[in-house]
Structure 1
Amino acid sequence: MPGSEAVKRTTLRSQIADALREEVIAGRLPAGRQFTVKEIAESYGVSATPVREALLDLCSQGLLDVELHRGYRVREFSYADFIDMVEARTMMLEGMFRHATEQALTAATPPVLASVRRRAEEASRAASAGDLDILIGYDLRFWREFAALVGNPYISDFLDRVRVQCWVFMVPLLRRVADLRGRLWCGHTEMVDALARREAAAVRRIVTGYNTHAMTLIKSLTA
């Protein structure tokens, strides 16, 4: 089949990028960690080409830095970076609901709400239990679907990028806490309920509370 090899390579590139992205978010590839294309290729048992392409994808997402003649390094984010990230995502979400509230509410049809609610319930359950690894996956999926209601892929993609970077900074700090039960934000279902009721003001209020919670928690862990 014409082009089948290109498709396979693209798929492999995506799979490697997704796998490495999860490793970085979970902290298994910690900030400052250096590695080469050869090292990753041997680890996954694949050729260098899709690995190199995958690593460049992660560089474009702001998760890796290229080091001349030395390979790649997992980017290190500071507390100041985190403050800027939260400010950026706050502005995006506020702008999203200020300028596209009606569109988002209209797009929240029963099937769409059912899908977002499933993500919300799993995320809330994991947050309440203090299960960080499960929370991260469902939280990212929840916000990705929530942002998609606006119908602007650029907003969704940029918001997802900022959220991933927030997790990369937060995870090492959160892993120092012996028991996270009761300390993680779990208002996902409350947001879906407000959306289902078409209450834009309530959605904005919950988003503001979420960002305040994140700042307060991280400030306490870095004090």
Structure 2
Amino acid sequence: MTEDASPGLGLPSLGGRSSLREQVADALRALLVSGRLRPGELYSAPGLAAEFGVSPTPVREAMLDLVREGLVEPVRNKGFRVTAMSDAELDALAELRGLIEVPVMTAVARDADADTWRRVEELRPLARSMVDAAAAKDLARYVALDTEFHLRFLALHGNDYVVEVVRDLRGRSRLFGLAEMAERGTLPGNAVEHEEMVDLVLARDADGMARLMRDHLGQIRQAWAGRDPSPT
């Protein structure tokens, strides 16, 4: 596509918020992961800035951050194009998430103490907000909440490298299947699983956490590749 595709994305206004470059970059990552920003489409900094309610400068700076991460590529005198990823690449990212997140979150449930219970209980409002975002089909907000939930949950394990690696894996992913899940009404069911994760830690149910995480990431893996996540 050769024209600016940014109008009509329904982006949130970021005016008046601190660290605009980081705020814009986070918002753009959420739109990338949710599939709202599509591969092959051109997006201009002025067009995106108008929807964010900020000047083009922090948008250009944020886009350059995404260029360095390999998420978009610059198109001279036109803007930025979202880079495409193959199903094999998306599946590889999902596999890595499973290798890291399943054992780590299982360990959090198994080794939970009073401090862990307190901190994981603080994630419950996030989990409930995700259900609301899923019901409203607000995919950008859903992805932002989902990212915050999982990274804060993984942080309970105490390994900062795990958090940073998963942050990078999530940032590189594309959940094009989320829109289809939202339209079918199955996304709220996926969202509900996050509050179940909280409850499993409170119950110190490591086996239950392992089963839930395998199922949860399995659905996401299929969504990344744009396939129907429902059983056949």
TM-score bracket, normalised by the shorter chain, equals 0.7 to 0.9
Tell me: CA distance 1:61–1:148, structure 2 relative to 1, closer, same or farther (3 Å).
farther
Rounded to whole Å, the distance in 2 between the matches of 1:111 and 1:158 is 25
In the alignment, is residue 91 of structure 1 matched against residue 91 of structure 2?
no
Q: Secondary structure at the match of 1:65?
A: strand
Q: Hey, what does 2:55 align to over in structure 1? A: 46
In the alignment, the residues of structure 2 paired with residue 211 and residue 201 of structure 1 have an alpha-carbon distance, to the nearest angstrom, of: 16
2:184 counterpart letter in structure 1:
D
How big is the alpha-carbon RMSD for the aligned residues of Structure 1 and Structure 2?
Answer: 3.6
Q: Tell me how many residue pairs correspond in the alignment.
A: 210
Distance 2:111 2:165 in 1: 17
Counterpart code for 2:202: A
CA distance in structure 1 between the partners assigned to 2:56 and 2:132 by the alignment: 40
CA distance in 1, matches of 2:89, 2:26: 23
Among candidates 195, 198, 207, match of residue 192 of structure 1 = 198
1:75 to 83, 99, 104: 83
2:50 and 2:136 mapped to 1: Cα distance? Answer: 35
Counterpart secondary structure, 1:73: strand
How many angstroms apart in 1 are the aligned matches of 2:217 and 2:147? 15
User: Secondary structure of 2:217's match?
Assistant: helix
Partner of 1:5: none
Residue 179 of structure 1 aligns to which amino acid in structure 2?
Answer: R
Give the letter aligned to residue 63 of structure 2.
Answer: L
Q: Match for residue 148 of structure 1?
A: 155
Q: What residue is the counterpart of 2:11 in the other structure?
A: none
Percent of matched pairs sharing the same residue? 27
**For the residues of structure 1 that align with 2:156 and 2:194, how far apart are their CA atoms?**
15
Partner of 1:3: none
Q: Give the TM-score normalised by structure 2.
A: 0.70
Unpaired runs of 5+ residues, structure 2, are 1-15
Which of 206, 209, 223 is residue 203 of structure 1 equivalent to? 209
Q: 2:219 aligns with which of 189, 213, 218?
A: 213
Structure 1 distance, partners of 2:111, 2:76, is 44
Question: CA shift at 1:169, angstroms?
Answer: 3.5
Q: How far off is 1:114 after superposition?
A: 2.0
Higher-Rg structure is 1
8 Å contact kept, 1:130–1:183? no
- Cα distance in structure 2, aligned partners of 1:126 and 1:14: 22
Q: How does 1:165-184 map to 2 (within 5 A)?
A: 165-171=172-178, 173-174=180-181, 178-181=183-186, 184=189
The alignment's TM-score, normalised by the length of structure 1, stands at 0.72
Q: Distance in 1 between matches of 2:119 and 2:25?
A: 28
The aligned counterpart of 1:117 is: 124
- Look up the equivalent residue of 2:159 and give its one-letter code: N
Q: Secondary structure at the match of 1:76?
A: coil
Distance 1:16 1:68, change over 3 A: same
Structure with the higher helix share, 1 or 2? 1
Match among 106, 116, 131 for residue 137 of structure 2: 131
1:19–1:220 CA distance, 2 compared to 1 (3 A): closer
1:154-169 mapped onto 2 (5 Å cutoff): 154-169=161-176
Bigger Cα displacement from structure 2, 159-168 vs 39-48: 39-48
Assess if the C-alpha contact under 8 Å between 1:107 and 1:149 holds in 2.
no
